[in-house]
Amino acid sequence: MNRVLFKDLGKMPYKAAWDFQEEKLLQKSALKREGKADEITNELFFVEHNHVYTLGKSGHEENVLLNEEQLAKKGIEYFRSNRGGDITYHGPGQIVGYPIFDLEQFKTDLSWYLRSLEEVFIRTIAEYGIKGERSKGETGVWIEPDRKGYERKICALGIRCSRWITMHGFALNVNTNLDYFNFIIPCGIQNKQVTSIQKELGKTVPMEEVKEKIKRHFKDIFELELA
């Protein structure tokens, strides 16, 4: 069982969290180059960002439907990120998580890693009576992915992996203001909706309660111990 250090960073600007992750990745990569991979500590961070759009390295600028002036007026930051995927939104009421894992201590298989992350959230939202599923050819967790016109995404994934060390991660919509998704084409996918636990249940859900469920499912699925 792998030991993983956990920390909730609270509210943090996106760029600060990105820099923080990059520093962690560089530290762990250096240990590998020095033949000290056994000294690498796996870490998991939760964070909540201010309003921000992030574009993945394979993303398309046209999926951002506002110009710079409009973004500034609405108080939304915008970054081109080095994660996979296209455009997404982060903001208050959303649990963002950054697992910085050395997959050589788990399993060197990115598909397995992504499917395992999805399973964490499928099980988390199931505790609220919400049936989360995978959508063929698309990452993340969806609701009714095979019912045309009703497909809606509740959890987005976007990762980077270098020397089998991961960064970036997931964003689960809990009590998120979904209006901010109207100004982008989320994940570059046309004609599909975005939802949240709050919207599905019709009520606000305690963020700390959801975080505890996520942590528990991380423990079970990745067979790890959180410290």
d(CA 85, CA 223): 27
User: 187 catalytic, yes or no?
Assistant: yes
The length of the chain, given as a count of residues: 227
Q: How many other β-carbons are positioned within 10 Å of the β-carbon of residue 39?
A: 10
The 3-class secondary structure across 128-187, one letter per residue, is CCCCCEEECCEEEEEECCCCCCCCEEEEEEEEEEECCEEEEEEEEECCCCHHHHHHECHH
- Which of 96, 143, 187, 214 does the annotation list as catalytic? 187
Which is nearest to 45 in space by CA: 6, 4, 14?
6
Backbone φ and ψ for 135, nearest 5 degrees, come out as: -115, 125
Active site (catalytic) residues: 187
